[in-house]
A and B are shown apart, each in its own frame.
Chain A
């Protein structure tokens, strides 16, 4: 046991000396490992960040919201025609739903709001923001969506009922239209398709993630006010808020039953509507993550493969250069295993240096990317650091084994005679 430790210390020392004596050579050899470790850690930080950003965004969409509409999220695929032929989705389903909820004892649902959508330009003077996601809804929208107001207020029931032309602007929309400051927007008019709308509120800034929708680039107004320029129901949906203590399963089945009643579906008839929730988006993001991971694995594997061959090569060279030294050590009593361990440690040492440099570069790049894309949270987790170290050691052992084994099998007498 003691012999093991003294030899281990000696071998570590030899490895350090050898690497130190051939700094340039070692660094160039480690390049493959550096790139490999960078690939694996950068990929990891990206996936971590994607996860974080995505779950933040889902919170924004509302994990306690069910979206009732014509289309399933994540694409219709080959069934496009089936969804296309479903009856038009109407906003008054929300009122019927609310009545059913009120009539149901211990309902798992709390409230439903209609959302009719229009994508239009909002103008003010010379400024214009095109293609704004404008939602026409009821006064309960703010409560259901937990959309906070930064300046002003949301519209009330009276304004909804009378269809007053008022609008609440998203943070970015207000910023683009009112250079004098968002708070100055309150009480001002904006125009949509020539109609005037009075700004009564500005949503609080929410931040966006990879182009997913956020309240920042939306606007909201009473549904009757929206109807003045948008008749279609192409994008109409209904958001239903669950009770906080209700299970998703319970809520979904209750909602499904209520919608079937409203739609007048007979038992055995297929649903002609869809209930979507944020969980379904997680499947979509899961695919993206898998693709990033696959790409990362491919690059990592390639880089490590090339790196491993380089290390194997340099270890062969090292064994050849030091054949006589191997003979001397064997004559002085080094066992085969000692020689094997010596060269393995050298290969592992180079890989660990490569891994450390790769990690350092990743940390550096993380800051650069973080500064360049502040919306994307890069996260370097401890697991990734452990993974980098494990990958480095494994590469060293795999690539160093064959030459190290060869070194350990050298005939001591012949090795001593080697020139």
Chain B
């Protein structure tokens, strides 16, 4: 039907969220942090999740990352219902299928860059030699091969976040989940990180970036806005800002 080179294939859903609620029981009061959310994330999506504080952004982030489970509704991760999983099963999903990037990097201060990147593979039970090989490869993707034996405190903020990205990538996850990845970086360094995200997206990865900055969200291909525990809007980005241009 289409005459323009690429055919639009039906993309596989990674995450399907149906009518999800998350209620916190704070003793005397109940806080309804998420109040009936429907959200699909497809393979090779690049989604920015936005919203003011208190909108349920963090709660959604925790649910998406399998750090928490919904109190009602269904959350299918690659077709499996996360709601019924026990703690160890959730840990395994996080380990093998989700890559986390945090605002404050969360690197282990006493471990070398290489060991930080290896860590998810340790928890996956991979042998030492294979681990080191994979970690080195992944460090190459973020351009830090020469920093493998440094410690985090010997690196700049941008470099640290790149190590964290390598750590998120090392297990070939189904989705990369970044929580305010540029929040602790100056805007130039932040743009560097977005360049890496752009290249990961183009390489076929699925990315979810939680942010409150419009400048960052504009790099994504789709923006989901939350307000008061509901999805306010879910729209494609008309003209994504090419990260490379922002560098100049």
Interface positions of A (Cβ within 8 A of B): 2-4, 6-7, 9-10, 17-18, 21, 324-325, 327-338, 411-413, 416-417
A2-B127 CB under 8 A given contacts A10-B122, A335-B88: yes
**How long is the Cα–Cα vector from A21 to B123 in the complex, in angstroms?**
23
* Residue contact B95 to A332, C-beta cutoff 8 Å: yes
Closest to A1 in B: B125
* Residue contact A332 to B120, C-beta cutoff 8 Å: yes
Chain B residue total in the interface (Cβ 8 A): 29
| Residues of A with C-beta under 8 A to B126 | 6
Asked whether any CB of chain A lies closer than 8 Å to the CB of B110, the reply is yes
* Residue contact B100 to A412, C-beta cutoff 8 Å: no
* Residue contact A332 to B123, C-beta cutoff 8 Å: yes
A325-B88 CB under 8 A given contacts A3-B124, A7-B122: no
Closest to B61 in A: A413
Please, could you name 16 A-B residue pairs with CB atoms under 8 Å apart, sorted by A?
A2-B127, A3-B125, A4-B125, A7-B123, A9-B128, A10-B119, A21-B110, A331-B100, A332-B94, A332-B119, A332-B120, A332-B123, A333-B95, A333-B171, A335-B91, A417-B58
**How long is the Cα–Cα vector from A371 to B68 in the complex, in angstroms?**
66
Smallest distance from the beta carbon of A365 to chain B beta carbons, Å? 36
Instruction: List the 3 shortest-distance A-B pairs measured between CB atoms, nearest first.
Output: A333-B95, A3-B125, A333-B123
Asked whether any CB of chain A lies closer than 8 Å to the CB of B167, the reply is yes
| Residues of A with C-beta under 8 A to B94 | 330-333
* Residue contact A413 to B67, C-beta cutoff 8 Å: yes
Contact pick for A416, options B67, B95, B111, B124, CB 8 Å: B67
Q: Taking chain A's interface residues, is the majority helix, strand, or loop, or is none over half, making it mixed?
A: helix
Closest to B124 in A: A333
A328-B88 CB under 8 A given contacts A2-B125, A333-B123, A338-B123: no
Q: A4-B125, A332-B94, A338-B123 are in contact. List 5 more A-B contacts (CB 8 A).
A: A7-B122, A325-B108, A328-B102, A331-B100, A332-B119
Asked whether any CB of chain A lies closer than 8 Å to the CB of B62, the reply is yes
Asked whether any CB of chain A lies closer than 8 Å to the CB of B181, the reply is no
| Residues of B with C-beta under 8 A to A334 | 91, 123
Contact pick for B91, options A17, A324, A330, A416, CB 8 Å: A330
**How long is the Cα–Cα vector from A18 to B111 in the complex, in angstroms?**
11
**How long is the Cα–Cα vector from A333 to B106 in the complex, in angstroms?**
14
Against A, the Cβ 8 Å flags (1 = close, 0 = not) of B128-162 are 10000000000000000000000000000000000
Closest to A338 in B: B123
Smallest distance from the beta carbon of B58 to chain A beta carbons, Å? 8
**How long is the Cα–Cα vector from A327 to B91 in the complex, in angstroms?**
11
Closest to A409 in B: B87
**How long is the Cα–Cα vector from A140 to B72 in the complex, in angstroms?**
101
Asked whether any CB of chain A lies closer than 8 Å to the CB of B32, the reply is no
**How long is the Cα–Cα vector from A226 to B108 in the complex, in angstroms?**
87
Smallest distance from the beta carbon of A329 to chain B beta carbons, Å? 7
**How long is the Cα–Cα vector from A339 to B36 in the complex, in angstroms?**
34
* Residue contact B68 to A6, C-beta cutoff 8 Å: no
Asked whether any CB of chain A lies closer than 8 Å to the CB of B65, the reply is yes
**How long is the Cα–Cα vector from A337 to B92 in the complex, in angstroms?**
13
**How long is the Cα–Cα vector from A7 to B88 in the complex, in angstroms?**
15
Closest to A337 in B: B88
| Residues of B with C-beta under 8 A to A333 | 91-92, 94-96, 120, 123-124, 171
**How long is the Cα–Cα vector from A407 to B128 in the complex, in angstroms?**
27
**How long is the Cα–Cα vector from A324 to B108 in the complex, in angstroms?**
10
